[in-house]
């Protein structure tokens, strides 16, 4: 069987990550499956996402324009579900990107919104076709 088993995201501020990512992952239908002092894991669709801090971090912000991960894209369900997440995102530490072209910044047949959190991580919230 192919697919992701898990993705691990290192964060500098776990409290901030719990607030921002926790809200987003919950809104997307993920379930928090474990939590410990330095992190937590969220599961959906047979894979999980771990948010954790480490003493081995080399910086405090994520640069999505540098080599590495540019963004994580999440299935959100219907276009109305994308709209609801995009509408509430600013209250939870996320700012919209490409909002002047929302919801078709990815093209006329792609309904999605893009968000960036305080640490510089970008998330794409995608509607089902």
Give domain status of residue 1, yes or no.
no
Give the domain CATH number at 75: 3.10.180.10
Domain residues for 45? 6-55+70-127
- The pLDDT value recorded for residue 28 is 97
Determine how β-strand 94-97 pairs with β-strand 112-117: antiparallel
**pLDDT for 71:** 95
pLDDT of residue 61: 85
Q: How deeply is 84 buried, as exposed, middle or buried, from its count of CB atoms within 10 A (0-12, 13-18, 19+)?
A: middle
Residues 29, 125: contact at Cβ < 8 Å? no
Query: Please, are residues 30 and 24 in contact by the beta-carbon 8 Å criterion?
Result: no
64 belongs to a structural domain: no
Name the 3-class secondary structure at 87.
helix
pTM equals 0.93
- Answer whether residue 45 is part of any domain: yes
Q: How many domains does the chain have?
A: 1
Per-residue pLDDT of the chain (129 residues; tens, 9 = 90+): 688 899 999 999 999 999 999 999 999 999 999 999 999 999 999 999 999 999 998 988 888 888 889 999 999 999 999 999 999 999 999 999 999 999 999 999 999 999 999 999 999 999 997
């Amino acid at each position: 069987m192919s697919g992701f088993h898990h993705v691990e995201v290192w964060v500098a501020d776990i409290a901030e990550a719990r607030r921002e990512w926790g809200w987003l992952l919950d809104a997307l239908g993920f379930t928090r499956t474990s939590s410990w002092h330095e992190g937590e894991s969220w599961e959906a669709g047979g894979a999980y996402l771990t948010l954790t801090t480490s003493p081995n971090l080399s910086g405090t912000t994520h640069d999505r324009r540098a080599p590495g991960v540019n963004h994580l894209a999440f299935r959100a369900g219907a276009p109305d579900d994308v709209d609801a997440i995009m509408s509430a995102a600013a209250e939870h530490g996320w700012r919209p990107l490409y909002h002047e072209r929302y919801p078709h910044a990815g093209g006329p047949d792609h309904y999605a919104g893009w968000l960036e959190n305080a640490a510089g991580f970008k998330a794409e919230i995608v509607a089902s076709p």
